[in-house]
Chain A
């Protein structure tokens, strides 16, 4: 943990909400984007992200500084996402049609057929496979960091990544994308 992060956590524990706000600034984007890939919905991802930080603030006293702070809040996010998914009847691929009323910043790009196809393929992955893909590709986590974050051996990280990419390749191949 870097010094700034440690200081911010210390200040937040003492009730400094601005310090906690700085922690939100640091991590809301990766948490939000991970939640988005889990929940498959922009609004739900925002809800999950908000809940994650509220819970993080609430439980900050239980955080152990020997672990990465991000790993800690990421676990909260995974739990919240699982709770959310448990309330959903079925997952749907990310689609602009799911976010009516919201103007997405990159909507024009996001609505491209290619993006939707890839997102759809991603959303078809099992949750644990999506988790490693999200951490690897959206967080640029190393195998060791993924292992630490979700608490599985590095060997399992590799095998899950491998399986996930195999499935993605198969799906994208069926869509005519793999050999693009």
Chain B
């Protein structure tokens, strides 16, 4: 038996794919060949290790979310003319420096959505004709131990010039939100008319920053377009969480500004606007 042949039979044996004849052939060979025995043992050990990995139960929200989206889709078929027109944009992909793509689906559902917030800037969609003027509330909460402080301020989406594109008539849209923060934070997003809590994850980013990326959510009904992003520090954290905004104001006091970095590609065209952040030190609101 050639080496290639017995290795093939050993693997098939590990996978239960040998015929009785092949199993017999392999058994005889292994009994008389020490190298083959060692290889067989090794293959079984590797396979055994992988088998020890656990399967995870998927979150129950998957089925619920899908069915809600299906429901929303079936009830959103009578969307506005503008919205139907935008469905042709489903293939659009915006590529941001920190890109996160939220894919819409369905015949009447609009295009990819991207939201990126960053201390060093957040992405901006300059295709202003695709930006709907929605009012929004963005804020964060600082839960540093027992100290809970927060600020929030209405921010005009029009004023943000499209860092967030969202037609008020759209339904069933998946949204992905990403934040950059200097420390681990949790994040959630509340949409007007309904709360969609988002579990955050974190991963190491370049430098010292942590990327916080929400899970996708599904809007189940028409939303008129306000939302609040809440970022909270882990207990014990001393630093101030920050979400980059063009202007951070509390009670009229400007806490800081951050300029915008944008790198968006539509088709072959790349649109970029980059400036540096000038964030001041954050300040808690008591």
Size of interface on B: residues with Cβ below 8 Å to A? 53
A177 touches B49 (CB 8 A): yes
The verdict on A156 contacting chain B, using a C-beta distance below 8 Å, is no
Within 8 A of B (CB), among A165-179: 165, 168-169, 172, 177-179
Which residues on the B side are within 8 Å of A179 (C-beta)? 45
The verdict on A11 contacting chain B, using a C-beta distance below 8 Å, is no
Q: B30-70, CB under 8 A of A: which get 1 and which 0? A: 00000000000011011101111111111101110111011
B11 touches A161 (CB 8 A): yes
Main secondary structure of the interface of A (DSSP, over half): helix
B57 in complex: contacting residue of A15, A25, A29, A158, CB < 8 Å: A29
B201 in complex: contacting residue of A43, A83, A138, A168, CB < 8 Å: A43
Q: Which one of A2-10, A62-70, A107-115 contacts B?
A: A107-115
A110 touches B54 (CB 8 A): yes
B203 touches A21 (CB 8 A): no
A130 to chain B, nearest CB (A): 11
Within 8 A of A (CB), among B1-43: 7-8, 11-12, 15, 17, 42-43
B49 touches A172 (CB 8 A): yes
Q: A45-77, CB under 8 A of B: which get 1 and which 0? A: 111011101110110000000000000000000
The verdict on B100 contacting chain A, using a C-beta distance below 8 Å, is yes
A54 touches B69 (CB 8 A): yes
A62 to chain B, nearest CB (A): 14
Which residues on the B side are within 8 Å of A169 (C-beta)? 42-43, 45-46
A22 to chain B, nearest CB (A): 10
The verdict on B141 contacting chain A, using a C-beta distance below 8 Å, is no
B186 touches A101 (CB 8 A): yes
B106 touches A58 (CB 8 A): yes
The verdict on B101 contacting chain A, using a C-beta distance below 8 Å, is yes
A42 touches B56 (CB 8 A): yes
B201 touches A115 (CB 8 A): no
A137 touches B201 (CB 8 A): no
Complex Cα–Cα for A51 and B66 (A): 8
Complex Cα–Cα for A73 and B30 (A): 40
Complex Cα–Cα for A172 and B52 (A): 13
The verdict on B216 contacting chain A, using a C-beta distance below 8 Å, is yes
Which residues on the A side are within 8 Å of B69 (C-beta)? 54
B62 in complex: contacting residue of A50, A83, A172, A178, CB < 8 Å: A50
The verdict on B105 contacting chain A, using a C-beta distance below 8 Å, is yes
22 contacts between A and B (CB under 8 A): A15-B74, A17-B67, A44-B201, A51-B174, A53-B62, A54-B105, A57-B70, A58-B106, A92-B204, A101-B199, A101-B200, A118-B49, A136-B15, A137-B47, A138-B53, A143-B15, A143-B17, A158-B8, A162-B7, A162-B11, A169-B43, A178-B49
